[in-house]
């Protein structure tokens, strides 16, 4: 008879699905996922309890056979079940698909906006989010080619 805490019945892989409003960015069997949520980074191993959480803009990392892979994700939701992680994000880019020049330009624009006098700013909160997206993209782009750690 299987024991209550029988580890052999736990799944050993997770299916990670990353969806944006326009496409499925990623569908992959992974060993684990580390994702940014509004409450901080969360690590998810196969067999994790069910969970629904709010995704923050930041770096999502997943591991496959000893190699780390990185994605830039922008705010959304994440649903976790013991076998699957579904990320619904406003935008998501794999490290190799990031246009560094575009992210640098977005960073420059956001920083210039944040330095304008308060009464001339379009929206402080929106600009801060834009800056966070650009910084995340630059951070992830830097990881490209350094998958093995
Ligand atoms: P920008 O000001 O450069 O348009 P943004 O943060 O306003 O950046 P988003 O609204 O987050 O852009 O994204 C719009 C689309 O463009 C999404 O599909 C996103 O994946 C893509 N995208 C944005 N910036 C980059 C980038 N630097 N490299 C690759 N794709 C990007």
Query: What residue spans define the domains of the chain?
Result: 7-97, 100-141
Task: Tell me what pLDDT residue 10 has.
Answer: 75
Calpha distance 126→133 (Å, rounded):
11
Architecture category of domain 100-141 in CATH: Up-down Bundle (1.20)
Domains 7-97 and 100-141 share a fold: no
Q: Ligand 1 in contact with 133 (CB < 6 A)?
A: yes
B/e letters for 77-102, b = 16+ CB within 10 Å, e = fewer, are ebebbeeebebbbebbbbbeebeeee
120: DSSP letter = G
pLDDT of residue 148: 43
13 lines ligand 1 (CB under 6 A): no
Q: What is the pLDDT of residue 2?
A: 46
Q: What's residue 11's pLDDT?
A: 81
pLDDT at 144: 78
DSSP-assigned states of every residue in 43-92: EE-TTPPPEEEEEPSEEEEEEETTEEEEEEEEEEEEEE-SSEEEEEEEEE
Chain centre to alpha carbon of residue 129: 15
Q: Please list the pLDDT of the chain residue by residue as tens digits (149 residues).
A: 444 455 567 789 999 999 999 999 999 999 999 999 999 999 999 999 999 999 999 999 999 999 999 999 999 999 999 999 999 999 999 999 999 999 999 999 999 988 887 776 678 888 999 999 999 999 999 987 555 45
Find out whether the beta carbon of 107 lies less than 6 Å from any atom of ligand 1: no
pTM above 0.85, yes or no: yes
- Give the distance (Å) from ligand 1 centre to CA of residue 53: 23
CA–CA–CA angle 27, 16, 58 (5° rounding): 105
Mutate to test the pocket of ligand 1, among 22, 102, 131, 135 (most ligand atoms within 8 A of CB): 102
| CATH code for the structural domain at 7-97 | 2.60.15.10
Scanning the structure block, which residue is given the tokens 């490209």? 144
Closest ligand 1 atom, CA of 102?
A: 27
């Amino acid at each position: 008879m299987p024991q209550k805490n029988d580890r052999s019945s736990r799944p050993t892989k997770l299916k990670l699905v990353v969806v944006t409003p326009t496409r499925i960015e990623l569908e992959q069997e992974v060993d684990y996922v580390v994702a940014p949520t509004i409450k901080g980074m969360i690590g998810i191993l196969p067999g994790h309890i069910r969970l629904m959480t709010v995704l923050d803009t930041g770096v999502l990392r997943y591991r496959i056979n000893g190699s780390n892979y990185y994605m830039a994700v922008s705010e959304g939701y994440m649903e976790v079940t013991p076998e699957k992680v579904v990320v619904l994000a406003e935008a998501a880019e794999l490290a190799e698909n990031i246009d560094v020049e575009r992210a640098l330009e977005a960073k420059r624009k956001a920083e210039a906006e944040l330095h304008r006098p308060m009464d001339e700013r379009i929206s402080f909160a929106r600009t801060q989010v834009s800056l966070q997206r650009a910084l995340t993209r630059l951070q992830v782009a830097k990881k490209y080619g350094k998958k093995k750690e």
